[in-house]
Structure 1
């Protein structure tokens, strides 16, 4: 059983790596199963025993990344019961997450790549923000205001990640954690008295 699981994991990793390589030069829609299999060095039968098409490979990989992003995003808030003033720089995990999946983020933030990938990421992060906003007990009666706040906060986080990408990930994650704490201290919708 373990041997089978390891083979499945190795196949999935090979396909993900090959997909990322191909996405650097062409959009997802232009990638064929044949060329993906060729680059991943697996046969088509193996491919079809795991996935129905190239889009499913991308979708499942995105799900892995999204779940890790969610964990990284929520970790400091959960530890502090959603009180921004209690979050320290060492609790922030987002930049470590991005570094772990740097190849993926380089594609998402590449100016030559269709915005579709950015919007997928945006919608996912916005969902996290919405859930965190609800957990922070902020009065969300003005739906329009909340929608704009969520979009602002989401683009703020993604903007930091995009700038880090532009600078070649040279700034250490620990330094970015400190900068994010400073930024959040001034702009957070989670600030305020005891709730």
Structure 2
């Protein structure tokens, strides 16, 4: 049996969800610097003792939320263990499972991403997202073509260009209220990758 109460007590899960929802809504309204723990507890309708039972302060709360969501974002985009070059797909109409998963993860936490990437969001958040994308694309490129001498454009330039475009498409989707499905967006993204880079960024992972 797990000793972690967060996994066994639905009341604690609900409390944490209320606290986190309160933080995101308040950031959306007035930014992080202007809000206080008192604001958060009033919005979540809990007492301060309950808040401090789980978080040291508002910074601890924000850091834990951001780290958790970005870890999920990274996991969604990972290739399966043992992925090899021959598994890369060859057409622009079959989106990789990992691309679809990434859009699904963003959709699941859409309010969070809209706030963090918006005018009242966390400085540097978009760069953290882009770094996750860059690292994943770089690993994919190394699987597909491990020899830099065989890549027509320096690898770091390709990865930087494609990662920036990749993040830009995610932001566009959020700004337009996710009017397209995750699979549709994943398909368009892989087509854009095909236009802007070589095939080694496309996979079925």
Output the TM-score relative to the length of structure 1: 0.79
Of 184, 193, 196, the residue aligned with 1:175 is: 184
Partner of 2:146, secondary structure, is: coil
Confirm whether residue 81 of structure 1 aligns to residue 84 of structure 2: yes
Q: Kindly indicate which of the two structures has a greater share of residues assigned to helix.
A: 1
With CA pairs under 8 Å and 6+ residues apart, which has the higher RCO, 1 or 2? 2
CA separation in 1, counterparts of 2:32 and 2:128? 13
Partner residue in 2 for 1:117: 125
Deviation of residue 18 (structure 1)? 0.5
Please give the root-mean-square deviation of Cα atoms over the aligned residues, in Å. Answer: 3.1
Correspondence 1:21-100 to 2 at 5 A:
21-75=25-79, 81=84, 83-85=88-90, 88-89=94-95, 91=97, 92-100=100-108
Structure 2: runs of 5 or more not aligned: none
Normalised by the length of structure 2, the TM-score is 0.76
Change in CA separation of 1:95 and 1:27 when aligned onto 2, cut-off 3 Å: same
The count of corresponding residues between Structure 1 and Structure 2 is: 190
More deviation, 176-185/110-119: 110-119
Deviation for aligned residue 1:4: 5.8
How has the CA–CA distance of structure 1 residues 79 and 13 changed in structure 2, closer, same or farther, with 3 Å as cutoff? farther
**Deviation by residue 1:79-114 (Cα, 9 ceiling, x = unmatched):** 853525389326231211111110011113324546
CA shift in 2, pair 1:8/1:114, >3 Å:
closer
Runs (4+) off by over 6 Å: none
Q: Return the offset for 1:191.
A: 2.5
Gaps of 5+ in 1: none
